[in-house]
């Protein structure tokens, strides 16, 4: 009897070990250990007129205020509701793995960031760790903001501190299983300062901005695990389900199926107005935020896009959605693509 019992115990232990090993392999070790996070420091960022100006420009154009403010969705340009700049909102996208709330970043002490330290904001922005130590969901583009140099980071935080406090209590983000565990593997501590980028010519300026903004995240097709498909960078076709309808991202490469006919002026006009001639861009593309970039930055982005490898990938939202053999997605013009 004792032998049988001991055998059962050994079998159960082995089963637990196998299941645990499988769970670690699937979910990643940080799902059980918690996200990587460096200790907070006491650093603060001093206020200067230059930082306030630069911080407002960046926060208004690269997505900070666009995501962290409620909008009047009934209007074409999606304006932020009066008196609610930076006050947080539930993100409107319907294909997220849970309910995602962009928190209140105003200095309100009860419902906003009034009690958060400068380093809490810095760590969240570039390293993906919230003020309370949790891993942030990756729609917050901390993986791209890691490239943000120290002075730009300081400028954004100084500007956020200058916003009028807004009382706007929001629930916490709720991510479904297993994503809420898998995403704990994403944060990576930054332990050395990030140098200012080389933006000495338009292409270098554009490369920095495209990486910082994360254009490839939306404009690269993904597989059924939502991983970017290698060799199809910036070729579009990723499908989004939003309050403005289902839409696929455009091919931004210089191939004939992309945007080879764009001029710099046409590109800037499209971002400024959300229209390419008579065709309106979906607000899934955050042009109401990107239009706040100045002409030099937009020209740099266009210059960089012109250097991309041309990729044949037809994506046309004016056509019925059909299965694309290149990315396995249902999008307009999909069946007109052929796999080599």
Residue boundaries of the structural domains of the chain: 49-185, 202-336
Structure tokens belonging to residue 192: 């050395």
pTM for this entry: 0.93
For residue 222, the tally of other CB atoms under 10 A from its CB is 18
pLDDT in tens, 88-112: 999 998 889 999 999 999 999 999 9
Helix (H, G, I), strand (E, B) or coil at 13: helix
**pLDDT for res 27:** 59
Residues of the chain with pLDDT under 50: 12-13, 16-20, 23
Question: How does pLDDT run across 278-287, given as a tens digit for each residue?
Answer: 899 998 999 9
For residues 299 and 267, give the distance between their C-alpha atoms in angstroms, rounded to a whole number: 8
Through-space distance between the first and last CA atoms of the chain, rounded to whole angstroms: 64
Contact 69, 85 (CB under 8 A): yes
Residue 23: the pLDDT is 45
CA triple 99-103-106, angle to 5 deg: 160
Tokens of 155: 């400028």
Q: Which of 226, 253, 230, 252 is nearest to 240 (CA)?
A: 226
Per-residue pLDDT at 17: 45
For tokens 């290149």, what's the residue? Answer: 326
Is the preceding omega at residue 178 within 30 degrees of 0, hence cis?
A: yes
Structure tokens at 158: 């100084």
Specify the DSSP element, H or E, that contains 180.
Answer: helix 179-182
């Amino acid at each position: 009897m004792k032998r049988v019992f001991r055998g059962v115990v050994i079998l159960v232990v082995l089963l637990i070990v196998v299941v645990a090993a499988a769970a670690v392999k699937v979910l990643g070790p940080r799902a059980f250990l918690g996200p990587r996070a460096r200790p907070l420091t006491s650093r603060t960022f001093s206020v200067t007129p230059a930082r306030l100006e630069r911080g407002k420009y960046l926060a208004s154009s690269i997505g900070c205020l666009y995501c962290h403010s409620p909008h009047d969705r009934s209007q074409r340009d999606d304006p932020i509701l009066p008196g609610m700049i930076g006050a947080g909102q539930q993100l409107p996208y319907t294909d997220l793995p849970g309910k995602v709330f962009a928190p209140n970043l105003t200095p309100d002490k009860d419902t906003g960031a009034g009690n958060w330290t400068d380093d809490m904001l810095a760590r969240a922005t570039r390293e993906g760790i919230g003020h309370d130590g949790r891993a942030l969901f990756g729609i917050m583009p901390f993986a791209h903001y890691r490239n943000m140099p120290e002075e730009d980071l300081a400028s954004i935080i100084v500007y956020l501190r200058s916003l009028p406090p807004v009382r706007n209590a929001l629930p916490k983000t709720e991510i479904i299983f297993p994503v809420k565990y898998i995403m704990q593997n994403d944060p990576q501590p930054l332990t050395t300062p990030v140098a200012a980028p080389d933006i000495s010519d338009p292409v270098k300026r554009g490369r920095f901005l495209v990486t910082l903004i994360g254009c490839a995240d939306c404009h690269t097709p993904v597989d059924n695990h939502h991983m970017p498909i290698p060799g199809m960078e910036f070729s579009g076709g990723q499908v989004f389900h939003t309050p403005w309808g289902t839409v696929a991202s455009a091919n931004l490469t210089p191939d004939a199926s992309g945007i080879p006919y764009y001029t710099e002026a046409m590109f800037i006009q499209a971002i400024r107005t959300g229209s390419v001639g008579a065709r309106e861009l979906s607000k899934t593309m955050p042009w109401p935020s990107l239009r706040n970039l100045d002409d030099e930055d937009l020209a740099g982005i266009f210059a960089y896009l012109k250097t991309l490898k041309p990729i044949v990938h037809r994506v046309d939202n004016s056509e019925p959605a059909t299965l694309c053999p290149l990315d396995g997605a249902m999008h307009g013009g999909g069946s007109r693509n052929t796999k080599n």
